[in-house]
Structure 1
Amino acid sequence: MIRTDRLILRHARPDDLEALHEAFSDPRAMRYWSGPAHHDIAQTARILKTLIAPDPDRQEEYVLECDGRCIGKAGVWHRPEVGYMVVPAFWGRGFAFEALSAILPRAFARWPEQAHLTAELDPRNEASSRLLEKLGFVCTGVEEKNFLYGGVEWTDTAYYRLDRPDQPSGTSL
C-alpha cells in the first residue's frame, strides 16, 4: 500500500468491481483504451481478476482509492508498460499524476534491471500525452494506423519512454 496526499494506492479487492466497471463501461474513458466500453460487467471482472492476482514478474498495479472510494487503477500492467484509468467523474484533478508519481519510483526500485518504462497511447488523447510528459516521459515516435480499435477503426499509436532516473538517457543496462 502507498499513501499520497489524497490517495491510497492498494491492491485490488473483489468489491472494487462496480467502481472499476463505472470507468470501463464509460465510452469517454474507453475512447482511447484498447477497445470499446464494456457492456458486460464480466469483461471488467476479467480485468479485476488480473489486478487481484497479478503476475509479480511483470505487474505492479494499484487501485486508486480516494475518500474510501475506488476511482481507478494505475501502475505497470505489463512490464515495462505503464497504464492508468480513472473514473471520468474524477478527471482533471491530478489523481493519475499523483498516483504515478508515487508508483514510478517504486517500479524502478522493484526491478533494478529495468532501464526504462514505457507507455503507449492514441495521440488524440492529449490529456494523457500531457500527463506522461509532466511525469518525464518522452515521445519516441508515432506509428500511423497500426491499431484496430473495436474492430472498426484504425488508429495511430504514440510511444513514450521514461528512462531510469539514475541512468543516462538512451542507455541500456
Structure 2
Amino acid sequence: MNEIRTDRLVLRRAVAADLPAVHAFMSSPSAMRYWSTPPHESMAVTAPWFQAQFFSGDPGRDEWIIELDGRAVGNIGIWNMPEFGFILHPDVWGRGVATEAARAFVDHAFGAHPIDGITADVDPRNLASLRLLGRLGFAETGRAERTFHVAGEWCDSVYLKLSRPA
C-alpha cells in the first residue's frame, strides 16, 4: 500500500522531492522540542536522516509522509517495530491533523503487520501527544527517568501501548 486517505489527509510514501518540507519541520525548535535529537541545523543533517527514515528498506520501519492540501506537513509511522511516532510542522498544530493521521495509521499498522500492539515512548512534558495517544486508547505501561540526553538536557520517558483490537 502506498497511500492512505482520510477526509483531509493523504498519508503516502516519501519521495525525494519531500526533503525540503521534511527539513522544515525537522529544523523547527518547536516541532523538535520533545524529539530524541536536537533540531536539524542544516540540510546536511536532514538528508541522511531522511534517507534512513524513508528509504533504508529496513523491515522494522513503516514510515509515511502526512500531506495536507498538497503539502508535506509531517511524518508518521513505526520506526522500530512496533514503536510508533509522529511529528508535525507547527503550522498545522491544533487542527486535528495528528489525530486524523494517527487513527488512519493505527488501522493500517494492525492490518499490515502481525504485531500484538503498538508502543510509544513520549517525553512526559509533551502533554499534547500524551492526550492524543490517550484518545486513541494507548495505556501507560511504565516510566523511566533520564532516558534521552538532548542538547545538554536529560529527558524522561512515558511508555505506552495500544493492544491489537480483538
TM-score normalised by L of structure 1: 0.90
Q: Distance in 2 between matches of 1:55 and 1:15?
A: 18
Match of 2:21 among 19, 22, 30: 19
1:164 aligns with 2:140: no
Q: Distance in 1 between matches of 2:54 and 2:128?
A: 28
Q: Distance in 1 between matches of 2:88 and 2:25?
A: 7
User: Retained in 2: the 8 A contact 1:12–1:51?
Assistant: no
Q: Which amino acid aligns with 2:141?
A: T
Deviations 1:93-151 (A, max 9, x none): 11111111111121112122x1111000110000000011111101111112222122x
How far off is 1:47 after superposition?
2.4
Q: Which amino acid aligns with 1:134?
A: R
Q: Distance in 2 between matches of 1:51 and 1:147?
A: 19
Which 4+ runs in 1 deviate beyond 4 A? none
1:102 aligns with 2:107: no
Deviations 1:29-66 (A, max 9, x none): 11100111111112211222134424352121110111
Match in the other structure for 2:44: 42
Cα RMSD after superposing both structures: 1.2
SS at match of 1:124: coil
User: Retained in 2: the 8 A contact 1:75–1:103?
Assistant: yes
Q: Which amino acid aligns with 2:71?
A: R
User: Retained in 2: the 8 A contact 1:118–1:161?
Assistant: yes
Match in the other structure for 2:154: 154
User: Retained in 1: the 8 A contact 2:54–2:63?
Assistant: no
How far off is 1:162 after superposition?
0.5
What are the residue-to-residue correspondences of 1:12-161 with 2, within 5 Å? 12-55=14-57, 57-112=59-114, 114-150=115-151, 152-161=152-161
Q: Which amino acid aligns with 1:128?
A: S
Q: Distance in 2 between matches of 1:118 and 1:125?
A: 16
- Percent identity between the aligned chains? 45
- C-alpha change, 1:145 and 1:51, in structure 2 (3 Å) is closer
Q: Which blocks of at least 5 consecutive residues in structure 1 are unaligned?
A: 167-173
User: Retained in 2: the 8 A contact 1:51–1:62?
Assistant: no
The number of residues matched between the two structures is 164
